[in-house]
Structures are given as structure tokens and as C-alpha cells.
Amino acid sequence: MSEIHLDRDVLSTLKEVMEDGYLELLDTFLNDSEARLRVLHEARDAEKLSATAHSFKGSSSNMGAIRLAELCAELELRAKQPSLGGIEKLVSEIESEFAHVRNLCREEREGFHC
């Protein structure tokens, strides 16, 4: 698995494309991710876990959060297995990785100049 928390090249491209909307994109990603984490913690069925992990994987990948996307992909696959045993550990790993990403996004936000 990758150890890249946030791919700066992806962020640079997003900055160029989004221009003034870049800060809103960062905020939306952070807010949506917080909501998805809550769902992952509360989900009691495989279908909800898988769907949430899938959408979290996509948004993380789009933002350059490589390791977070990989963990979400793993959860998506695990949620399709007959047993959900050990899922809590994986959700905790996702939460921990998101904490890194959140801090990096906040630093990115603070350093952004239009």
C-alpha cells in the first residue's frame, strides 16, 4: 500500500482547474468525509458499508488522498465478504488516515492564495 497521504500534484491540478472554487472543494471534501466516517461507524449492514466505502474511495482518490482511497477500497471489498469480523479495525485505520489528510487539507487551505 502507498504511504502517500496527499498527492501534491493532484492538488496542484485541482487548484489550476478550480481556481477560486478550490477552497470550497477542500471544504466540501472535508465535510463529506466527516459525514462518511460517521456512517462507517454507525453502519450495521454490509451494503451500507460497501456503498459508503465506495463513495469515500472515489472522493479520496479525486483529491489525491491515495492511502485513504486504498483503505476505503479494502473496506469496500471486505464488506462484500460473508463475515464483517474485523471491520471495526479497518474503519479505525480509515479514521486515522483521514486525520492525517484532514490536517494536510487544512494546511493547504491556510496556504492557498487566489
Residue 1 lies in a domain: no
3 belongs to a structural domain: no
Tens-of-pLDDT digits for all 114 residues of the chain?
567 899 999 999 999 999 999 999 999 999 999 999 999 999 888 999 999 999 999 999 999 999 999 999 999 999 998 888 889 999 999 999 999 999 999 999 888 765
Range of the domain at 90: 8-112
Does the predicted TM-score (pTM) go above 0.85? yes
pLDDT score at 7: 95
Answer whether residue 41 is part of any domain: yes
- For residue 37, is it within any domain? yes
Q: How many domains does the chain have?
A: 1
3-state SS, residue 26: helix
User: What is the separation, in whole angstroms, between the first and last Cα of the chain?
Assistant: 34
Q: What is the pLDDT of residue 11?
A: 95
User: Which own/partner contact pairs does 82-91 have at CB distance under 8 Å and 24+ positions apart?
Assistant: 84/46, 84/49, 87/49, 91/40, 91/41
Separation of alpha carbons 27 and 105, rounded Å: 9
Question: What pLDDT score does 114 carry?
Answer: 53
